Amino acid sequence: MSAATVALFRARLERRAAGLAGDLRSAILKAYDLLASNLTDAELTGLIETGNLDAIVTDADARLALRTLQTRIRDGVESAAKAMLREGFPGVAFDTLSPSVIRGIQTLNDRALQTLSTEVRETVRHVVEQGLRDGVGVRTIARNLRDVIGLAPNQTDAVANFRRMLEEGDAEALTRQLRDRRFDGTLRRAFAGDGLGPKQIDSMVSAYQRRFVAFNAETNARTVAMDAQKLGQHLAYADAVSRGDMNGATLTKRWSGTLDDRERDTHLAMEGETVPWDAYYSNGQMQPGDGEYNCRCVSIYSTIETIKPGAGAFGAFENLQAYAGARTRT
């Protein structure tokens, strides 16, 4: 397959993922707000005092808060699969009630739920344990917990470090990428003079923290959006094979990365590996990047024949030149 055809396929997939990511980001931020609003000071204080930290955010809490996200994921997977079918088999409907489709979407939903809920619980535990080590009162820790929902554990440390910089007049605060730059003039004057007051510091730290939460939501949303596109692509092929539109015996998939300086070494090592369409790659992943953040690698599916004459290209095929010609003219 020509590099241009691969680039075209990737661009279309990434464009669909970007559109979905916006909806997922909003759903994730909504979930963070719901989880935080359900936490009361009295309940938090009691759970911290008894050491029952996992009960602060339960699986049931997370599932309820992430309900909108899971709906968006399902819609994204189905949309991706339908787009693949439109390009390869015009007029053929995607079977959204197929057991394999339902299982695939449920697996992705469960993985997203597990990733986000685990992150929240790890952050809660990290903040509580750090606060107790530092001698912070339980009630103060409880009041602060709502503000850290949506941050990863290491990000709470970054926020605490930013506060320290502001309190100590450390100009390195001006190098933090997620700082609110509207405060830069105030910071420079303060560092050159008498420093910042407590209210100024609180405002700047709050803004920094909000930006970190948004950044974290965006990272999670991009990851899930790409996973949804890859799953939709795979389910479209599975649907076509099950109906006899394609011959599964001749269908393969090839690992294809971006080959830039941002790609993981472990993924560079997978470049070009080709396996049967329904087999796992040698690293145990069904799709490139399963369960990993911000993976931009994709599968390039290829077949020598299609069972139905005139079925045309399907996704990004190495042997179907009609696809490349037709799509590059649009």
Strand order in the sheet with 274-276: 274-276, 251-256, 298-303
* Percentage with pLDDT > 70 across the chain: 90
| pLDDT for the residue numbered 91 | 67
Instruction: Say if residue 88's pLDDT is above 80.
Output: no
Yes or no: say if 303 and 251 are a contact pair by the CB < 8 Å rule: yes
Collapsing DSSP states into helix, strand and coil, what is residue 283? coil
Helix axes 198-243, 67-88, angle to 10 degrees: 40
pLDDT band at 70 (very low <50, low <70, confident <90, very high): very high
Express each pLDDT in 156-185 by its tens digit.
Answer: 999 999 999 999 999 999 999 999 999 999
Express each pLDDT in 271-312 by its tens digit.
Answer: 999 999 999 999 999 999 987 888 999 999 887 644 343 333
Contacts of 244 by beta carbon, 8 Å cutoff, 6+ apart: 307, 308
Express each pLDDT in 19-40 by its tens digit.
Answer: 999 999 999 999 999 999 988 9
Tell me the two tokens of residue 275. Answer: 């396996």
pTM, entire model = 0.84
Give the strand pairing for 274-276 and 298-303: unpaired
> Distances in Å between the alpha carbon of 55 and those of 1, 47, 141?
53, 7, 16
Yes or no: say if 278 and 299 are a contact pair by the CB < 8 Å rule: no
Tell me the two tokens of residue 32. Answer: 């963070």
Instruction: Say if residue 326's pLDDT is above 50.
Output: no
Ramachandran area for residue 40 (φ above 0: left; ψ -120 to 50: alpha; else beta): beta
Q: What does 101-149 look like in DSSP terms, one character per residue?
A: HHHHHHHHHHHHHHHHHHHHHHHHHHHHHHHHHTT--HHHHHHHHHHHT
Q: 11: buried, middle or exposed (CB in 10 Å: 19+, 13-18, 0-12)?
A: exposed
Helix axes 184-192, 198-243, angle to 10 degrees: 140
